[in-house]
């Protein structure tokens, strides 16, 4: 649940941006056309650094969202590239599902999330204050991470029992932050990084940014 | 004869569904049909439907529960099976049902000549391959009234949802009875010698030696079943096949008898369901000795203790010749006997249609598979393959959350230099208690 910088004015898919801006200005319903699908998806991956917006699992290779894949404001990868546009396993998430009907391509409402978890999540909405690109969103305000069990929990400083229950329900039933597979992969990744750090060997943090940051801060 | 591909255009929950059942690139058998396939998926995803379609296509068998319900008409031009058969040279047939010019339902084949199809029907099915065998989820456990007559001769396939499994005993019943008759005769001879020459110890010993010699050289069908098939499985229950029979007539044999290690016979009525399951699924394969055919198992894990579930898939393969097995299971232990390309995980998509979840990324190559059930822990299989969310019960999940919360609270107190405060001490005590209960010290 990292904070995601999705600055609309700085996206690379400017042709898509112009197209959506015009639709919005004209107050038109967004068409079902998938003309700008790759533009949106890859720009989102660029903002999310190739991980699921919620679980921070690695879901897209870096080559796919390299800035060089955009030319003249449009996403394109050559046919002879060693990777394909489908070399990722994320799905487009409409944060506020009610906007899907008329504003399907609205940038601020879109994220890329893990396809398997998207299936589990189905139509269950994420509570508004956990939207990862909000100006005042910070994961540490709402979550804590226990390095021993590798579980996310509601921040123990929160006193409102309703909010604790709400965040716990988000963790378990909507975001699936402690889903067995996610938890095991996260635990393995963190242990691996810590081991490399202790051996003084090089390592790359390319997923689970939030949990890794919190665990490494405590690492002595 | 093996199935290499199943295509379903539109039937029940399947739509534009294709199953490639061949080994992936990079495998020594790349492109050849899989030797075994494991269907997994939620109830309702069509595992049993796929199993029951197989006999229809291979043997035009319409008596399965599915076909009795829907009839062949429901799949005309909607389902296609591709099969490969042959020895040095493999022949291929793509089969589907349709109506012929006289409006009768007929089986059509593509990609092959009439000669190949005729060879398949007349030679391969009738002379070379054994009959297809189907083990349903709920085997008929009735062990009584077994006839010496072979019940399987008349049927298109061996369907144990229709036929009593114990009737497979008829395959060797005559041999067993002949063996017992001969043994009875030799024992009677010993009695006669003892009666007529009761003081002639040498004559009695010679008669007994004759029995022992005979036992050494004569093929004993029950001992064969015990040594080569059942005893290694029954050992899990501390049981074995009873090979020394205290019958009075040859008809006493009925069905196989088992005993505990103290030679106490276990009457059929007292066999556990697990014992019945293991005997009634292994024995048919051992006695029928199937070859070059297809064998279907629906939920083979039923009533089997995990220890036995670990063994059966490889064991069944080992007692057959060149057969293709199809399993449908809910057991992670059964699933762990399969390579990842042998697992067909069926899932519903957003339109409630079935798709196959694949375990590889990019090209279908052995190196691109993300995980291999053979190397995974059972709980990992449950989570990755069966998509189970947690690694234990809801109560365990609650306690893990509680433990995580206590750990974080303690960490925060430590950061404030309050690790010796009464609150911190109380938290530590709770953490220790919970950790023990959760076996969390791993």
> DSSP of A38-50, one letter per residue?
HHHHHHHHHHHTT
* Chain A CB contacts of B382 below 8 Å: 180
Query: Per the domain annotation, does B139 fall within a domain?
Result: no
B17 & B114 share domain: yes
> For strand B133-135 and strand B294-298, is the pairing parallel, antiparallel, or unpaired?
parallel
Q: How far apart are CA B247 and CA B232, in angstroms?
A: 25
pLDDT higher than 50, residue B181 = yes
Q: Which residues pair with B159 in a beta bridge?
A: B134
Which of the four pLDDT bands, split at 50, 70 and 90, describes residue A220?
Answer: very low
- Number of structural domains found in chain B: 3
A39 & A124 share domain: yes
A211 & A185 share domain: yes
Query: Per the domain annotation, does A160 fall within a domain?
Result: yes
* Listed residue (B370, B365, B366, B401) closest to B384, CA to CA: B370
In the listed set B224, B249, B274, which residue is the last one of a domain according to the structure?
B274
A81 & A105 share domain: yes
Helix, strand, coil shares, percent, chain B, to 5: 45, 20, 35
Q: How far apart are CA B143 and CA B159, in angstroms?
A: 17
A29 & A109 share domain: yes
- Average confidence (pLDDT) over A195-204: 91
Q: How far apart are CA B435 and CA B439, in angstroms?
A: 6
- Number of structural domains found in chain A: 2
* Chain A CB contacts of B412 below 8 Å: 156-157
Helix ranges (DSSP H) in B289-370:
306-318, 332-335
pLDDT confidence of residue B274:
85
- Average confidence (pLDDT) over B12-23: 94
Disruptive mutation site among B41, B377, B389, B397 for chain A (greatest number of A CBs within 10 Å): B389
Q: Residue A205: give the domain boundaries.
A: 139-218
A91 & A165 share domain: no
Q: Do A144 and B408 touch (CB under 8 A)?
A: yes
A12 & A119 share domain: yes
Query: Per the domain annotation, does B360 fall within a domain?
Result: yes
Interface membership of B390 toward A (CB under 8 Å): yes
B241 & B295 share domain: no
Query: Per the domain annotation, does B158 fall within a domain?
Result: no
* Residue ranges of B 304-363 with Cβ closer than 8 A to chain A: 347, 361-362
Record the tokens describing residue B434, joined without a space: 């919970």
In the listed set A95, A130, A165, which residue is the last one of a domain according to the structure?
A130
The shortest CB-CB distance from A179 to any of B382, B389, B404 is to: B389
Q: Do B408 and A146 touch (CB under 8 A)?
A: yes
- Average confidence (pLDDT) over B179-205: 86
pLDDT higher than 60, residue B139 = yes
Interface membership of A114 toward B (CB under 8 Å): no
Query: Per the domain annotation, does B121 fall within a domain?
Result: yes
In the listed set A78, A112, A130, which residue is the last one of a domain according to the structure?
A130
Record the tokens describing residue A45, joined without a space: 């991956």
Handedness of CA B118, B124, B126, B131 (dihedral sign): negative
Report the gap between the CA of B383 and the closest CA in chain A (Å): 6
B274-331, pLDDT tens digit by residue?
888 889 889 999 999 999 999 999 999 988 888 889 889 999 999 999 999 999 999 9
pLDDT confidence of residue A204:
92
Query: Per the domain annotation, does A84 fall within a domain?
Result: yes
DSSP reduced 3-state for B102:
coil
The shortest CB-CB distance from A149 to any of B407, B409, B411 is to: B407
pLDDT higher than 50, residue A2 = yes
Query: Per the domain annotation, does B41 fall within a domain?
Result: yes
The shortest CB-CB distance from A149 to any of B380, B383, B403 is to: B403
pLDDT higher than 70, residue A40 = yes
Report the gap between the CA of A26 and the closest CA in chain B (Å): 32
Specify whether the CB–CB gap between A111 and A125 falls below 8 A. Answer: no
pLDDT confidence of residue B291:
94
Interface membership of B391 toward A (CB under 8 Å): yes
Which of the four pLDDT bands, split at 50, 70 and 90, describes residue A219?
Answer: very low
A51-106, pLDDT tens digit by residue?
999 999 999 989 999 999 999 999 998 878 888 888 888 999 999 999 999 999 99
Query: Per the domain annotation, does A205 fall within a domain?
Result: yes
How wide is the angle at C-alpha A190 spanned by C-alphas A189 and A194, nearest 5°? 120
pLDDT higher than 90, residue B33 = yes
Q: What's the distance, CA B365 to chain centroid?
A: 27
A125 & A153 share domain: no
Q: Residue B213: give the domain boundaries.
A: 167-274
In the listed set A130, A163, A184, which residue is the last one of a domain according to the structure?
A130
Q: Do B408 and A181 touch (CB under 8 A)?
A: no
Interface membership of A184 toward B (CB under 8 Å): yes
Query: Per the domain annotation, does A1 fall within a domain?
Result: no
pLDDT higher than 70, residue B248 = no
Q: How far apart are CA B118 and CA B114, in angstroms?
A: 6
């Amino acid at each position: 649940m990292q904070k995601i910088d999705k600055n609309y004015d700085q996206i690379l898919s400017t042709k898509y941006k112009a197209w959506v801006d015009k639709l919005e200005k004209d107050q038109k319903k967004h068409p079902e056309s998938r003309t700008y699908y790759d533009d949106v998806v890859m720009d989102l991956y660029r903002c999310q650094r190739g991980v699921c917006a919620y679980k921070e699992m690695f879901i897209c290779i870096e080559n796919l969202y390299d800035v060089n894949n955009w030319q003249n404001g449009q996403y394109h990868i050559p046919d002879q590239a060693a990777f394909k546009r489908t070399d990722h396993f994320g799905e487009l998430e409409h944060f506020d599902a009610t906007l899907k009907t008329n504003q399907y391509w609205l940038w601020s409402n879109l994220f890329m999330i893990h396809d398997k978890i998207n299936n589990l999540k189905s139509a269950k909405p994420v509570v508004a204050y956990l939207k990862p690109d909000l100006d005042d969103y910070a994961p540490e305000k709402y979550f804590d991470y226990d390095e021993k069990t590798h579980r996310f929990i509601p921040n123990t400083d929160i006193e409102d029992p309703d909010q604790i229950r709400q965040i716990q329900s988000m963790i378990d039933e909507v975001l699936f932050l402690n889903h067995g597979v996610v938890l095991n992969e996260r635990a393995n990744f963190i242990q691996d990084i810590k081991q490399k750090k202790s051996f003084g060997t090089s390592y790359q943090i390319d997923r689970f940014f939030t949990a890794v940051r919190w665990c490494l801060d405590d690492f002595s | 004869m093996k199935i290499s591909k199943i295509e379903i255009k539109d039937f029940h929950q399947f739509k534009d569904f294709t199953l490639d059942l061949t080994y992936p690139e990079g495998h020594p058998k790349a492109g050849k049909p899989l030797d075994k396939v494991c269907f997994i998926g939620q109830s309702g995803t069509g595992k049993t439907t796929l199993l029951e379609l197989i006999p229809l296509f291979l043997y035009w068998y319409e008596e399965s529960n599915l076909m009795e319900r829907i009839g062949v008409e429901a799949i005309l031009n909607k389902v296609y099976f591709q099969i490969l058969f042959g020895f040095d040279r493999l022949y291929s047939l793509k089969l589907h049902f349709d109506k012929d010019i006289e409006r009768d339902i007929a089986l059509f084949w593509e990609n092959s000549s009439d000669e190949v199809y005729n060879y398949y029907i007349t030679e391969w099915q009738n002379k070379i391959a054994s009959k297809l065998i189907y083990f349903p989820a709920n085997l008929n456990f009735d062990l009584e009234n077994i006839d010496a007559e072979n019940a399987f001769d008349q049927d298109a396939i061996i369907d144990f949802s229709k036929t009593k499994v114990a009737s497979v005993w008829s395959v060797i019943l005559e041999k067993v009875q002949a063996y017992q008759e001969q043994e009875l005769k030799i024992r009677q001879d010993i009695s006669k010698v003892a009666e007529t020459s009761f003081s002639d110890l040498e004559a009695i010993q010679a008669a007994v030696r004759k029995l022992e010699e005979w036992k050494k050289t004569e093929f004993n069908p029950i001992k064969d079943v015990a040594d080569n098939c059942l005893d290694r499985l029954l050992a899990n229950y501390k049981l074995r096949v009873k090979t020394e029979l205290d019958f009075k007539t040859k008809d006493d044999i009925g069905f196989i008898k088992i005993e505990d290690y103290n030679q106490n016979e276990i009457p059929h009525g007292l066999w556990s369901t697990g014992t019945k399951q293991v005997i009634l699924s292994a024995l048919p394969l051992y006695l029928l000795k199937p070859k070059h055919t297809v064998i279907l198992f629906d939920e083979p894990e039923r009533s089997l203790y995990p220890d036995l579930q670990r063994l059966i898939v490889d064991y069944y393969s080992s007692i057959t010749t060149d057969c293709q097995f199809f399993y449908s299971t809910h057991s992670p232990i059964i699933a762990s006997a399969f390579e990842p390309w042998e697992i067909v995980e069926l899932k519903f998509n957003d339109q409630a249609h079935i798709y196959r979840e694949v375990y590889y990324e990019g090209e279908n190559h052995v190196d691109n598979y993300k995980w291999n059930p053979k190397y995974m822990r059972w709980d990992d299989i449950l989570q990755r393959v069966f998509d189970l969310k947690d690694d234990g019960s809801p109560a365990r999940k609650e306690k893990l959350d509680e433990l995580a919360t206590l750990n974080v609270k303690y960490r925060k107190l430590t950061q404030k230099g309050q690790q010796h405060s009464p609150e911190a001490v109380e938290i530590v005590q709770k953490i220790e208690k919970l950790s023990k209960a959760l076996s969390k010290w791993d």
